[in-house]
Amino acid sequence: MTSQANAIDPEDPVLQTSFGVELVRQMRAFDTYGRLENKTNAELLDPFILTAERKREIPIIANPDAAVLDRLSAFYNAIAAMIEKECNLMASPMTSLSAEGFGRGLIIVGKLVVMDRALRDVHRFGFASLSKMKDEADKVLSVALELIGNHSEVAGL
């Protein structure tokens, strides 16, 4: 992506939500060399946002790079961490991708699969806005928690 103005307002209330805080924590965890240390939370989450202009810059067919794979992992890790906070059971996120960016994303709690997503065009992973990203995470979280509530004996194994 070329350098453009940030698509996230530093005062966006989503940054203060438990999901926003957890996603920032996950992104900082991937930064083993400290190159993102001086970035603000809004700057850190900015690559998750694909405006129409940014989307036009990404080719239709391409292989995902390491930065995109880190963002994908951070997103699902954040959801798994939220599940753990809500139900006190370990949630394990897993992704299996081909080199072309096609595959599956899973979150497993005990022996229960609480999220199973087909992933495609991962090189274009992103959301129209920070609030849409949070809405997607909230949707996955609510379905996962409902499944855990309905099948607690399997989730507890």
Domains of the chain: 13-155 (1.10.3100.20)
pLDDT averaged over 10-residue windows placed end to end, the chain, 157 residues: 69 94 95 90 94 90 91 97 96 94 96 96 94 97 97 91
Specify the pTM: 0.91
In this predicted model, what pLDDT tens digit does every residue of 71-114 receive, in sequence order? 999 999 999 999 999 999 999 999 999 988 899 999 999 999 99
DSSP code, position 50: -
CA gap 155, 114 in Å, rounded: 9
